[in-house]
Amino acid sequence: MIQEKLYEDLLPRKFGRPGKIWVTVLVAICVVAAIAYYRQLKYGLSVTAMRDYMSWGIYISNFVFFVAISLVGSLISAILQLTQVRWSTPLTRIAEMIAVSAIIFAALIIIVDMGRPDRFMNVLIYGRIQSPILWDVIVITTYLALGLLFLYIALLPDLAIIIRQKGKVEAWVYRIAKILGSFWKGTPEQWKLQKSSIKILTLTIIPVALAIHTVTSWLFALTYRAGWDSTNFGAYFVSGAFLVGAAAVVVAMYVFRKFYSLQDYITDAHFNNMGKLVVMLALLYLYFNLNEYMVPAFKMKKPEEQHLRALFTGDFAPLFWIVIIMGMIVPIIVMLFPAGRKPLPMFLTGILIVVGAWLKRFLIVMPTLLHPFLPMSNVPDSYQHYFPTWEEWAITAGSLSGALLLVTLFARIFPIIPIEETIKERRKEELASLNQEYNELDETKQIIKPTPHQAYK
């Protein structure tokens, strides 16, 4: 009976009206992005505002953002699972879906940033292992492979459920499930292999996840540029990535809970726990920010001074303080209080963190490039400033929409909450409560206590 209700609640469902509007809007943005990218392919990178000095624009800041958000897969699925944090079980699939979508678009946006994408294969053919760019290519590919395997292997028992519940899902969803998971019979040997696979993945994905964002940070930190020349960068990037990833999961939790009516599965307790986690991560990130800005500001070396003044009081100051205050301090204050860890405040502060995180990546890339060591001279005015063109905005918005569309499609085809695991956990909970009841009765000698196996049955 409980199982039937779970199937009904958690099996993939048709989109309602809001879902259809959501998908239409995302597809429309992707179409505009495709037109903009066609123009970029046709006319080259001159359609962007990137010039000699600003050679990395919002494409790269968007790439860093995607890589950051993808780290959440390892946080929720691996770190929390490995440390036996059971409350995170309903969130694992959401985290993995976000991670895989984000890393796919991180890889795509890098290709978009290339003036000659047809030469992409040259990176693999002629790439030198000395180059951090090649490290990034390798580590992204590796993380994508691990993320997909994690998502797929964990999904196998749920695919079998979809196949068994043929009449309750659309035919095309059933067909996809059959192609991907018809071999899953749930035999003890298969379970054993699946569990050991998940265990191996959990252990492997953590160092790779740390590597992916550390390597991304090294793309900056291995150059001798004001604002990037920092030994703090790896940890600073990883902590920021965990924060934005966790915030993205909070936003997704709220949306799925609301539109799929999952209040029984993603409860206020989940938001409460995620809130505590986000506060901890925000404090950690704030600490690294303090390190990142206070240490050079104390010394104020000449090139750093220009960069820091631009951030603290110059052209980038409004954006900088919005990021620090709205993206870190306000969420910490809100989520410190139990009332702030309710679903709606969590959702709103989650959005603040995600937007702040995107702007933060913008602030990491732009001000440094606009403050080279040698003063800019004899260059057109457009070289000295950077404001993305409509093509850049469209492509960036398209990539974000694409990632959201991918998450939406995943949710349309596969269960957002792991059904099999939820059934097991519910049974465990029942068993625990039964055991408790029996224990109480046992004390009064009224009944013989059953074995756990009997109780389970």
Residues 6 or more apart in contact with residue 324 via CB below 8 angstroms: 286, 289
Q: Which of 43, 120, 183, 387 binds other proteins (CB under 8 A)?
A: 183
- Give CA–CA dist 379/408, Å, rounded: 46
Q: Which of 129, 171, 374, 448 binds other proteins (CB under 8 A)?
A: 129
Buried b / exposed e along 122-153 (16+ C-beta atoms within 10 A): ebeeeeeeeebebbbbbbbeebbebbebbbbb
Q: Which of 81, 190, 202, 232 binds other proteins (CB under 8 A)?
A: 190
- From the list 74-82, 104-112, 149-157, 268-276, the region that binds other proteins by CB under 8 A is 149-157
- Give CA–CA dist 172/159, Å, rounded: 13
Q: Which of 31, 121, 193, 432 binds other proteins (CB under 8 A)?
A: 193
**Nearer Cβ to other proteins (202/232):** 202
Paired tokens of 361: 């990546």
**DSSP string across 222-271:** TS--TTT--TTHHHHHHHHHHHHHHHHHHHHHHHHHHHTT-TTTS-HHHH
- From the list 191-199, 234-242, 298-306, 331-339, the region that binds other proteins by CB under 8 A is 191-199
- x/- mask, other proteins, residues 215-254, rule CB under 8 A, reads ----------------------------------------
- From the list 94-102, 125-133, 277-285, 391-399, the region that binds other proteins by CB under 8 A is 125-133
Rg (CA), the chain: 24
Total length of the chain: 457
If binding is defined by CB under 8 A, does position 201 make contact with other proteins? Answer: yes
- x/- mask, other proteins, residues 150-179, rule CB under 8 A, reads --xx--x-----------------------
Min CB(165)–other proteins separation in Å: 19
**Nearer Cβ to other proteins (179/448):** 179
Min CB(8)–other proteins separation in Å: 27
Q: Which of 81, 142, 291, 435 binds other proteins (CB under 8 A)?
A: 142
Query: Please, are residues 399 and 109 in contact by the beta-carbon 8 Å criterion?
Result: yes
Supply φ then ψ for residue 49, to 5 degrees. Answer: -90, 5
If binding is defined by CB under 8 A, does position 145 make contact with other proteins? Answer: yes
**Nearer Cβ to other proteins (1/129):** 129
If binding is defined by CB under 8 A, does position 128 make contact with other proteins? Answer: yes
- Give CA–CA dist 289/454, Å, rounded: 56
Q: Which of 165, 204, 232, 291 binds other proteins (CB under 8 A)?
A: 204
If binding is defined by CB under 8 A, does position 395 make contact with other proteins? Answer: no
Residues 6 or more apart in contact with residue 48 via CB below 8 angstroms: 40, 57, 59, 388, 389, 391, 392
How many residues touch other proteins under the rule CB under 8 A: the total is 28
DSSP class of residue 416 equals S
Q: Which of 337, 444, 423, 440 is nearest to 164 (CA)?
A: 423
**Nearer Cβ to other proteins (180/336):** 180
If binding is defined by CB under 8 A, does position 202 make contact with other proteins? Answer: no
Query: Please, are residues 270 and 90 in contact by the beta-carbon 8 Å criterion?
Result: yes
Applying CB under 8 A, the residues found at the interface with other proteins are 126, 128-130, 135, 138, 142, 145-146, 149, 152-153, 156, 182-185, 187, 189-190, 193-194, 196-197, 200-201, 204, 208
